[in-house]
Structure formats: structure tokens, C-alpha cells
Structure 1
């Protein structure tokens, strides 16, 4: 009897590339703004190495058409080309999409789009990197993210930005409220992640302080107490004794007038002086001071010995 196991063909294993279903969840879409070219290349290389198709984009020569593996190689290359097309923005896809091309040819074309004219691109990126300010950005997070994107784009055009320069430029573009934290960052020169974290904590501290100093918060902490003014027991006593209806405003004027003048000054005051006599309607300096002390507005005062006429409608 012959060996039956030798006649049974061995099962072929399926290539890992056929297991990928949604490439956009593994590699971010390249647009040149939110996702830089260098970031996209790093993600794509990592993905291609994990699924054993890195030789389709690193310049390895394809097998000849007479090779029995040519058909399977072309099928896998078409899948890698779909990965490339599926991770490009609409503007880049129009510039790269061509019929009868390979994954390596599309990869090379994308490389030329982002790395051609390196001098002009480097000058533009360098100008924006050096002049970016926090006040021109909507938030601190957007400011830090934009600086990091410009640094990555400068690395793409062979103008690398090291971490120390990136941290110094981060402090240089801060506003005045971050002077203390920025000075500490300049002295210690921490890592990029540590510097961004320090600025975010400082912003949270300032926001909490401003929230506690609002008028609404102060009103809750120290409520205003309203007290009723005390009434004078001798107020309007003369009006009650004479049977007339009390007049609060008149009583205040009369009491203030009586306080300002004394019996000794009445007899010594000349009657022929129009400014100090009893017929004068202008208060003296002492009466004016007492009126200001009692928070009364200045006004013409009645004569010293003037008495109001009896009320025609007594109570």
C-alpha cells in the first residue's frame, strides 16, 4: 500500500491581507493639514508590515509574468493600492488616481507631491512656525496641535525641528497670562508632552479662579443684609401735640434746623443782616454741615421763628 498522506495536497494558508475590512480605522486619511505626510507614512508602514505587504511599497521588484506567483502577487498589490486610495483625501485622490498602475507607482507619486519644491515649502512652513501665536488660535489645544503639525511638515521637507526648539517656540507664542508658567518652562526645558500638560493645568487653574470671582459667586458667599432704619422717638412730636398730621419731610427739616441753632446764638444774631438774620432763607455754615451729616439735600430753609398756619381740615 502506498502512502496516502503523500498524495493529499497540503492546504494553502490565506494571506493576511485578505482579512482587512476597513482600512480607514487603521490608517488616518491624508489631507496634508490635519494629518501630515510623515504621520501618514508611519501609520501605513506599520500597517503594511503587520500584514506582510511592505515589499509592495518599498521598491521591491515585482515577479515576472512567467512566474507562477505573478497572479497572486498582482492580486495582493491591487488590495494595497486600494488601501492607498482609501486613505487619501478627495483632492489628493484626483491627482493620484490612474488606471493600470501599481501600489509602488502610486506611493511614489504621493511622495513627489509632498516632497517636491522643498525649498519653497520649507520657507513657507518656517515663516508660519516662527510667527504662530496663541491669540490667533481658537484654543490652547489648537495652538499646541498646530505647532506640532508644522514641526512634522518641516521634517518632511528635510528641515527637522528638534524637541527643544519646539518647546521654546511654544513658550514664545504664549499670551501674557502664561508668563509665570512660560518662564518656568524656559528654565527647565521639559519634554513636549510635559510642557503642554503644564500649560493646560495653568489654564484650568485660571478658569477656576475667574469662576469663583464672578459677582454671582460673591453674592452667594457674602449675601447683602438689608436693615430697616431706626425711627427717632421724638420725631414729629410737635405735630402730634398740635393735632396736625405728621409730615416726615417737614419734621426732618425743622429738626435739622433746630440742631444747627442754639438759644444763645439767637439773641446775639443781628436781625438786619440778610445772610444771617431770622428772615434769611439761606442756612448758616453750621446748619449746612449738619444737613450734610444727616444726608439731607441742600435747600432753602424756613425762617427761625416761622410757624405753619393751622390745618383747615383737622383730624
Structure 2
């Protein structure tokens, strides 16, 4: 007598599996919202492509031709494409979404529209960003943290318009925009040429030192250079 076959098990083994794209319930938990400032276009593209590759939908945005409407795979691909389109729309800021949203669109067409927004008029945008980058001063910002963050943002935006900023130039501009009370640590940064994050940490340490001195005017202040050396050449 032939063994009884479990019909439900047989059906599940032959039934095609759910496409990975449908397991994503909230794309914003994986790809941050593109606003062109805090999240630059280049960063958004890298994150989006990373997840598109992981969830097997990269072909929907990289220009791979879609199958014809008569193909057996057309309907399933169309459903997946609609989901990828939702990913794109769901990771755009309120200002960008109206410029990209259309009634009839494929994911690839929406992807190209976003690309065009950031690739058009690169020269004029680069000039405006360069002016702001070179003019930025700590005195015009609410805090040291905001000043450093804005420099980072501008550097990212300049990279998007093919005008990348080297880490060394970022440090030079960081120092250039400091007020006179940072002269000592600024001079030390110029001499030791640390990377941006180390220079930023040195400035934060100096800000803390100044705040402590203001609260306790009689307390001796540690030499800036001696403290800063611990950031540049940490003991082995």
C-alpha cells in the first residue's frame, strides 16, 4: 500500500515563495528620508541600492528591461515594481515628493526623476553651496555641534554636485570659522592636522574646558595642547 502523502505539505513545497520585498513593512526603518540636506542624495542612493539588492529588486531601478506584458512573469513583476515605487515615494521628504509623484509610473521612472532633480543645474548649485561652506562661522550657529553638523551636511551636498570636499579642507574650514577664544586649540589643530572627527572632539573638549573655567574661575585649567594630544596620539 502506497504511503499517504500530506497534501498540504505537497502544496506548500510547490507553491512559489513570497518575494522578499513584501516582507518590508516600513521602508523608513531601513532607508532614511531623503531631504537633500541631513540625508544627501548620494547617501540615500547607497542605502536604497543596498536594500534593493538585499531584497532582490535592484533590477527595478537599475534600468534592467521589464518583461513584455504578454510574458508570464509580467503580473508578478508589476506587483513587485509597485512595491518598490512605494519605497521610493515613502523615503522622500514632503518637499521632494510632489516633484516626483505621478499617477502612472514605474519604479525606474520615479528613480530617474529623483536623479534628475539632483543632477540638474549642478554648476549653479555648487557655486551657492561653496559660498555657504566658505562663509559659515561658529558665531552664526546656535552651538558648536550645529556648526560641525552643518559643515558635514554642506560637504555631503557638494559631493552630490560633483564638487567633493576633502577631509583636510573640511578641517581647514572648521578652524577658519572659529572665534578668537578657540585660537589656542585652533593653532594646535593646524599644526597636527588631525582628521575632522578628531578635530571636532578637540573642539568639544575645549568648549567643556571653557565652560568649566567659567563656572569655577579659580580652578586651574589643563593646557589645551596636553589634553589634545590624547586625541591625536593615544597611548599604546
* TM value normalised by structure 1: 0.64
- Equivalent residue runs for 1:140-151 within 5 Å: 140-151=144-155
Identify which range, 145-154 or 190-199, moves more after superposition: 190-199
**Residue of structure 1 equivalent to 2:167:** 163
Kept in 1: contact 2:49–2:58 (CA 8 A): yes
How far apart are residue 34 of structure 1 and its match?
Answer: 2.4
Which of 202, 208, 211 in structure 2 is aligned with 1:204?
208
1:19-62 Cα deviation digits (max 9, x unpaired): 11111222111122222212221221222122121111111111
Partners of 2:91 and 2:15 lie apart in 1 by: 34
| Residue 22 of structure 2 is aligned to residue 22 of structure 1 | no
| Residue 90 of structure 2 is aligned to residue 99 of structure 1 | no
1:247-298 Cα deviation digits (max 9, x unpaired): xxxxxxxxxxxxxxxxxxxxxxxxxxxxxxxxxxxxxxxxxxxxxxxxxxxx
How far apart are residue 72 of structure 1 and its match?
Answer: 1.0
**Residue of structure 1 equivalent to 2:182:** 178
| Larger RCO: 1 or 2 (CA < 8 Å, sep 6+) | 2
How far apart are residue 78 of structure 1 and its match?
Answer: 0.5
Residues 1:105 and 1:210: Cα distance change in structure 2 (over 3 Å):
same
| Residue 112 of structure 2 is aligned to residue 108 of structure 1 | yes
Which of 42, 48, 53 in structure 2 is aligned with 1:44?
48
**Residue of structure 2 equivalent to 1:153:** 157
**Residue of structure 1 equivalent to 2:66:** 62
Where structure 2 has 5 or more consecutive residues not aligned to the other structure, the ranges are 220-236
Partners of 1:167 and 1:59 lie apart in 2 by: 39
User: Which SS does the other structure have where 1:91 is aligned?
Assistant: coil
**Residue of structure 1 equivalent to 2:57:** 53
How far apart are residue 70 of structure 1 and its match?
Answer: 1.1
User: Which SS does the other structure have where 1:12 is aligned?
Assistant: coil
1:94-122 Cα deviation digits (max 9, x unpaired): 11110110111111101111110111011
**Residue of structure 1 equivalent to 2:82:** 78
Greater helix proportion? 2
1:50-104 Cα deviation digits (max 9, x unpaired): 2121111111111111221111111111111101111111221111110110111
Kept in 1: contact 2:37–2:157 (CA 8 A): no
* TM value normalised by structure 2: 0.84
Residues 1:4 and 1:190: Cα distance change in structure 2 (over 3 Å):
farther
How far apart are residue 213 of structure 1 and its match?
Answer: 2.4
Partners of 1:50 and 1:191 lie apart in 2 by: 33
User: Which SS does the other structure have where 2:103 is aligned?
Assistant: coil
If you compute each CA radius of gyration, which structure gives the higher value, 1 or 2? 1
Partners of 2:2 and 2:135 lie apart in 1 by: 82
1:148-177 Cα deviation digits (max 9, x unpaired): 111111111111111111111111111111
Runs (4 or more) in structure 1 with deviation over 4 Å come to 1-5
**Residue of structure 2 equivalent to 1:136:** 140
